[in-house]
């Protein structure tokens, strides 16, 4: 069980997250929705302690995450992998090495510095790439991949951490609809097969509805909706998104990424190459 209790985060006088309380049972897939500035990213960043709460507590089972320091904080950040809208890969390093970097928190510093990875770790990295359908890119510099492929590399890197929770901050906001679907399907698969809790910020309602068993709606730093997707009716949507700047009602199509014109050219950069295990030097 994961729990936020009365969590507030201020930046000067601005309140980014305002007295948020909720529990998430292990293995749930949760979508966090809301307008830009609602506090979604700040909340995720506090969960894996990239930011600290100004007030309130965060617990994972019996551990107070918000009080962790030093090695135990690093262990938590390993248990709680995060992926981002902009992928955060090292573009000049090859895909395989980017994925192996997910193991850094599992090893002594000396081995990390020397960039030594075991055979088991390399097999694990290839398996993660295969699972995401991008093993053929293993030796390419990550920066040469399409956005959809890069996000899959980031997910493979996150899997290398053996996380208990996977946090995703608008993971599909930079992707075309086809790649958005591939990435969301991958997150759902990880959630269902490994029982890893997934908390993902999403800026589109239809994606949250399609993939998340539970939706948390934020507005002005507060949680204004928390329930199953089927309860997200027009009133709830209005509460979360409010009205437009001109006072007009928010139309659901404004928050939709429905596939209209699937862009297939995204796969064009994928190149044929030797077998994945050969690439890994195995
Ligand atoms: N590092 C920061 N310094 C100052 N203000 C910040 C910082 N990070 C976020 N904020 C403010 O907190 C509010 C919530 O931001 P954010 O969590 O990024 O929202 P969202 O992810 O929902 O768009 C915004 O008003 C934003 O300007
Ligand atoms: Mg954000």
Residue at 256 is within a domain: no
Task: Report CA(37)–ligand 1 centroid distance (Å).
Answer: 6
Pick from 24, 10, 4: nearest CA to 165: 24
Task: Report CA(74)–ligand 1 centroid distance (Å).
Answer: 24
Q: Are 40 and 169 in contact (CB under 8 A)?
A: yes
Pick from 126, 192, 185: nearest CA to 157: 126
Q: How confident is the model at residue 204 (pLDDT cuts 50, 70, 90)?
A: confident
Cβ of residue 42 lying under 6 Å from some atom of ligand 1: yes
Question: Across residues 271-278, what is the average pLDDT?
Answer: 46
Residue at 276 is within a domain: no
Cβ of residue 177 lying under 6 Å from some atom of ligand 1: no
Residue at 194 is within a domain: yes
Distance in angstroms (rounded) separating the CA atoms of residues 282 and 278: 5
Look up the pTM and report it. Answer: 0.87
Q: How confident is the model at residue 274 (pLDDT cuts 50, 70, 90)?
A: very low
Residue at 282 is within a domain: no
Q: How confident is the model at residue 108 (pLDDT cuts 50, 70, 90)?
A: low
Residue 209 is part of a domain; what is its CATH number? 3.40.50.300
- How many Cβ atoms sit within 10 Å of the Cβ of residue 23? 11
Query: Which of 14, 54, 173, 219 to mutate to test ligand 1, by most ligand atoms within 8 A of the CB atom?
Result: 14
Using the Cα atoms of residue 272, residue 115, residue 183 and residue 252 in order, give the sign of their dihedral. negative
Distance in angstroms (rounded) separating the CA atoms of residues 164 and 78: 9
Residue at 161 is within a domain: yes
- Residue with the nearest Cα to atom 24 of ligand 1? 37
Q: Are 99 and 125 in contact (CB under 8 A)?
A: yes
Cβ of residue 13 lying under 6 Å from some atom of ligand 1: no
Counted domains in the chain: 1
Give the range of the structural domain holding residue 136, as residue numbers without chain letter. 2-221+232-251
């Amino acid at each position: 069980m994961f729990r936020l209790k009365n969590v507030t985060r201020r930046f000067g006088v601005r309140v980014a997250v305002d007295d948020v309380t909720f529990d998430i049972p292990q293995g749930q897939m949760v979508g966090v929705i809301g307008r830009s500035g609602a506090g979604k990213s700040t909340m995720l960043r506090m969960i894996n302690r990239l930011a600290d709460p100004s007030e309130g507590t965060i617990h994972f089972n019996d551990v107070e995450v918000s009080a962790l320091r030093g090695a135990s904080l690093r262990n938590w950040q390993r248990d709680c992998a995060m992926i981002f809208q902009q992928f955060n890969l090292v573009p000049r390093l090859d895909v395989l090495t980017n994925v192996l970097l997910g193991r850094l928190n599992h090893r002594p510093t000396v081995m990390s510095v020397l960039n030594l990875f075991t055979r088991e770790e390399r097999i694990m990295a290839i398996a993660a790439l295969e699972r995401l359908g991008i093993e053929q890119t293993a030796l390419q510099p990550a920066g040469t991949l399409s956005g959809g492929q890069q996000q899959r590399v980031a997910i493979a890197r996150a899997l290398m951490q053996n996380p208990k929770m996977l946090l995703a901050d608008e993971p599909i906001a930079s992707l075309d609809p086809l790649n958005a679907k591939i990435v969301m399907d991958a997150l759902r698969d990880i959630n269902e097969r490994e029982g890893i809790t997934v908390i993902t910020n999403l800026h589109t309602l239809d994606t949250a509805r399609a993939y998340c068993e539970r939706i948390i709606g934020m507005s002005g730093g507060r949680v204004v909706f928390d329930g199953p997707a089927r309860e997200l009716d027009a009133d709830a949507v209005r509460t979360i998104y409010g009205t437009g700047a001109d006072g007009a009602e928010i139309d659901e199509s404004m928050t939709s990424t429905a596939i209209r014109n699937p862009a297939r050219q995204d796969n064009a950069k994928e190149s044929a190459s030797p077998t994945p295990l050969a690439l890994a030097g195995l």
